[in-house]
Chains A and B, each alone.
Chain A
Amino acid sequence: MTAHILTLTTFLPLAGVIVLLAGGRRLGDQTTKAIALLTTVATFVISLVILGRFDSAATGFQMIERYSWVKSIGLSYLLGVDGVSLWMVLLTTFLMPLAVLASWHIEKDVRRYMLAMLILEISVVGSFLALDLLLFFVFFEALLVPMYLLIGGWGGERRVYAAVKFFLYTMAGSAFLLLAILFLYSKSGAAGHATFDLRSLMSVAGGLPAGTTRWLFLGFFIAFAVKVPLFPLHTWLADAHTEAPTAGSVLLAAVLLKVGAYGLIRFNLALFPEAAKYFASFVSVLAVIGIIYGAVCAIMQTDIKRLVAYSSVSHLGFVVLGIFAFTHQGMTGGVLQMVNHGLATGALFLVVGMVYDRTHTRQLGELGGLAGVTPWLAGAFLFAVLASVGLPGLNSFVGEFLVIVGTFSVSHWFGSLAAVAVVLSAIYLLWSYQRLAYGPVHEEHRGLPDLSVREVAILAPILGLILVFGVAPRLLTDKIQPTANAVVARVDPAHPRDAAPILAPAAAPAPGTAP
């Protein structure tokens, strides 16, 4: 069984899908939710086996599963995991049960809702594990459908507009991706062996002229930049986030956006290292603009979900900036920040959802004084806010710091401008906390219940991890590093770069002893 652990993790939710489909309407709403929860928890447990079997020292792909699928066109079913995708998969499987729990109050069409959630999990995990480009594309496109349904079916007032915008925007980006994939495929055919295998295509792409790889880079880049989202391709995000149901927002922010950043590392950097270097400053400029622009936009938002959405634009800018610094610290920090953002923003959306369930408003102007009425809920919100703000000791700080340090050694300007986000994030997030939790409480909000047991069960794991990864980020970085360093070395083979120069090691006294 463990030989097919990746397949098992990817398609275990399918079991839940089959049960739900077979059960049909006979299953009650509660049973349906329980089956979905059980399936996602089981998937998480199974995915822990991947973590257990993961070899931290290795740089290449591990636990590879390869079957020829459509021989005539060279399509194969090819899965593998490395230090980057490992955490993306675990983040997904970890958040899914929480998202299902957060959807417990859904009453409309529960069966379809849960089906969409489970299919979403399959396609997201699949995109993180697929090493065959066409297989990846299938998963990458497949995840749009359940998310489209979640937003359009269970979203807020402007849900249809948001869902269509989300779908079309990302589809438009994917068109370029498909073109680029097919072009590469044709080149591999010309080179003698038509294939979509990423590992073979890496050498195929290496043989192409620089101009061609740059165009191909852009093809991949547009698709992923929309997904990240990178300024100025971000406007679908605010609408989608705002209108999506709580679980949808959580998964959108925590997981779906990561597919974009992941794609940049997995495909853009791996396939076109030269082009990546060529476009590095261009991408970094976009990332820095996004960091500041997203933060500035977030300051003025009055809708709390919109505010968090714009904060995602800012935070994902950090991820991309770190990746395209091509230093060990930047790359590891960028990947780390992907996990951190998933947890911190996921937690924010979860808490905001709980606030909405109670008050039925997302407008900050209509909230206030919740610290007195629901102290634990407000406390949880503050905790998530502080994680997002990058308070040292919580997870995001380490990632942000590594990105800033890693970028700073390449460009003082980019590093310093990214640091400005430290102030801006404090402004918009603390201001939102102040408007939500402080001040006089609204009359109709008096007597709101504080966190229920179910909500504590949702928040405790995620907030706990935020603290754990803030104190012990090495739990993550030790597994990310070998892969991240290999990516950096591939892009910049001449000088494997470190942010820190090695000074003459002056005779520093050994720590732990009094000299």
Chain B
Amino acid sequence: MTPAASAFHYLWLIPALPLAGAAVNLFFGKRLGKLSGVLASATLGAAFLLSALLVKDLMALPGDGRLVVRHLFDWISVGNLTVAADLRLDQVSAIMILVVTGVGALIHVYAIGYMHGDPRTGRFFAYLNLFVFFMLMLVLGENLLLLYLGWEGVGLCSYLLIGFWFDRPEASVAAKKAFITTRIGDTFMLVGLALIVAKFGTLDFTAIFHATAAGGIAKGTATAIALLLFAGAIGKSAQVPLHVWLPDAMAGPTPVSALIHAATMVTAGVYLVVRMHPIFELSGVALTVVLVVGLVTAIFAGTCAFGQDDIKRVLAYSTISQLGFMFMAVGMRAYAAAMFMLVAHAFYKALMFLGAGSVMHGTHDATDMRTFGGLLKPMPITGVTFLIGAAAQAGVPPLAGFFAKDAILEIANHTGRELVYVLGTFAALLSAAYIGRLVFLTFFGEPRSQEAAHAHESPPVMWIPLAVLAAGALVAGWLNLTPEGRLAGFLEPVAGAVPGGSGLAVPVMDAIAIAITLSALIAAWYTFASGRVDWLAVRERFQPLQRVLQNGWYVDRAYQTVLVEPARAFAHITAFVVDTKIIDGLVNAIGAGVKRLASVGRRVQTGYVRTYALAIGLGVVALMFWVGVRG
């Protein structure tokens, strides 16, 4: 065994470290006090270092042999179905574990400062560590059931963390909504797993890919499997129509929003589709569905983001929209572009969420952008790092977002998907515009409230992670300067070659993209920060539209009226009419019938001894008569 291979023996340690941290924090969190956050961050830091080490070893392997599967133990073995607890390290999971542990560690450090003074920090870090454990299982699992384990596990942690401040009613409602909405998708996914077992007899990725390549399943089956799995991805990655939970999920503590609802968990859907792309490709139709859903979501969420006043809700809708971009990429078989965007997004969106948290920290938990303004001056580090993140998302070259978004649009153009290109460009315009609005309303202009005027910068434990993430957002673009760039090359053995073609020349498209971004940003500046436009008055004039956007096109309310209320009525009828009145009523009616019969029969029992004696006598006579007749 080569030395490189032996290092992979420790692959299990990567998820085990945060799990151990979670266990210690859960049971001894109170006693650890402030140390709980340090411990949690340390486990993640160690996991990150180990991941980096293993990924380096992985890179040392020959290009098409970069796959390590470590068998831990057989989890389930019944009949001819065996599901093992195997960990898989390949190019895709390598990227994912680096993002999860790296960004995760930074957010953990930040959370030490953010959660300072909360009486339940031990619990908080236990959940956060547990989340990372499940997320690592999700991306490291060698079969779909381990992935599903991680999938449900991160959902649980998301539930616990959204509802962490459980005495706030909106937090507990949002937590339940998040869990149940994603579980709707998970149900389809579970059926998808059952279908895979029925068709393949296994859930192992390696075996599934081999069988698919060997033509083991029909195209229709592949479509069914792919769509069922994608339904799970829609729920987890908050795509239309199951996106409703993510904006509400912002009720949780901000580090949670950064880690779970921006950088890692919500990207699990993208990871799933990338991971299972052989099935999606075999189907073909399924990829188109992915593309359409991604496109619709990107535009839809972009418009919603424009209507929000709550800084975290803007970022939430922005996340949904960016995830839509990733799904667009996946739908066009540009898996490397999607993964690149995933990495870049993890940096700049985590950065912006943490920045928003820092703003809240400095303004006594204010989140309404209408009360902000001019925060750049009192909070210079937060402001500058936030600006970097925003610029990255808006697509200002040479930051990460520019390359990522550009790569996707370029592929759309070059593969002849003109409509996708145009609509995608529109979505990009939207994202630059709403992020511009956010930045200019928050950091520029004049303070519009007491809190904003007296804002203060956050402590180093919070701004250092911001700085590191900002650096990451700055350089992440270098990972993939061109669609044929480094990340794509690294991923090619798993994800296949980046689809190519011909269309507009690359420099032309770059120019268009830059022009659009800059014009959107300038328009936002002119409206919200130049002081020359009374934007509140403009907003008044467009009141109906503004309100529609703010309420996310009233999708929530529509679900409430069309689905939730009827379902509730149905359940009510089932439980209190069908069950208690009809089924149980029938049972009680039988009981009552017997009782009534008995009330007639009881008259025979007069209580007079002499009646009984007469009856006995007559009975004897009748018996004797009967015996006599028979004899």
Interface residues of A (CB under 8 A from B): 165, 168-169, 232, 234-236, 293, 296-297, 299-301, 310, 327-329, 332-333, 369, 371-372, 375, 386, 391-393, 397-398, 401-402, 404-405, 408-409, 412, 415-416, 419-420, 422-423, 426-427, 430-431, 434, 437-441, 471-474, 477-478, 481, 485, 498-504, 506-509, 511-515
Contacts and interface: CB of A to CB of B under 8 A. Distances in A.
A499 B159 CA distance: 33
A235 B70 contact: no
A18 to B, nearest CB: 38
B77 A474 contact: yes
A392 B79 contact: no
Contacts of A512: 69-71
A498 B80 contact: yes
A332 B79 CA distance: 9
Given A301-B575, A369-B167, A392-B149, A500 B591 contact: no
A405 B214 contact: no
B502 interface: no
Contacts of B406: none
A499 B576 contact: no
Given A402-B76, A437-B166, A500 B570 contact: no
Between B173, B204, B568, B571, the greatest number of chain A beta carbons within 10 A of the residue's beta carbon is seen for B571
B76 A168 contact: no
Nearest to A168: B591
B167 A405 contact: no
B190 interface: yes
23 contacts: A293-B579, A297-B571, A299-B575, A328-B79, A369-B167, A375-B123, A386-B156, A391-B152, A393-B153, A401-B190, A408-B198, A422-B183, A423-B187, A430-B180, A474-B75, A474-B77, A481-B79, A498-B80, A499-B198, A503-B200, A507-B210, A514-B8, A515-B65
Contact of B191 (A332, A415, A515): A415
B149 A393 contact: yes
B176 A430 contact: yes
B206 A438 contact: no
Contacts of A471: 75
Interface string B306-323: 000000000000000000
Contact of B153 (A333, A391, A430, A474): A391
Contact of A500 (B191, B198, B216): B198
A398 B148 CA distance: 12
B214 A328 contact: no
Interface string B60-83: 010001011111011111111100
Contacts of A501: 198-201
A434 B148 contact: no
B78 A297 contact: no
Contact of A235 (B77, B193, B576, B583): B583
B197 A405 contact: yes
Contact of A511 (B71, B149, B176): B71
B interface, how many residues as a size bin? Answer: 35 or more
A439 B169 contact: yes
B78 A426 contact: no
Nearest to A497: B79
Given A503-B200, A513-B5, A473 B76 contact: yes
Nearest to B80: A498
Nearest to A300: B575
Interface string B567-599: 010111011100100011001000100000000
Contact of A434 (B176, B206, B572): B176
Given A423-B180, A438-B163, A509 B195 contact: no
Give the 7 A-B CB pairs with smallest separation, nearest first: A328-B79, A500-B201, A506-B210, A438-B172, A392-B149, A300-B575, A408-B194
A434 B79 contact: no
B234 interface: no
Contact of A422 (B186, B200, B202, B591): B186
A258 to B, nearest CB: 20
B497 interface: no
A329 B79 contact: yes
Most interface-central of B69, B149, B197 (chain A CB within 10 A): B197
Contacts of A369: 166-167
Contacts of A477: 76-78
Interface in B9-66: 61, 65
A473 B187 contact: no
A477 B86 CA distance: 20
Nearest to A369: B167
B176 A419 contact: no
Contacts of B176: 430-431, 434
A241 to B, nearest CB: 14
B184 interface: yes
A291 B53 CA distance: 48
B211 interface: yes
B5 A514 contact: yes
A180 to B, nearest CB: 21
A401 B149 CA distance: 12
Contact of A508 (B61, B74, B206, B572): B206
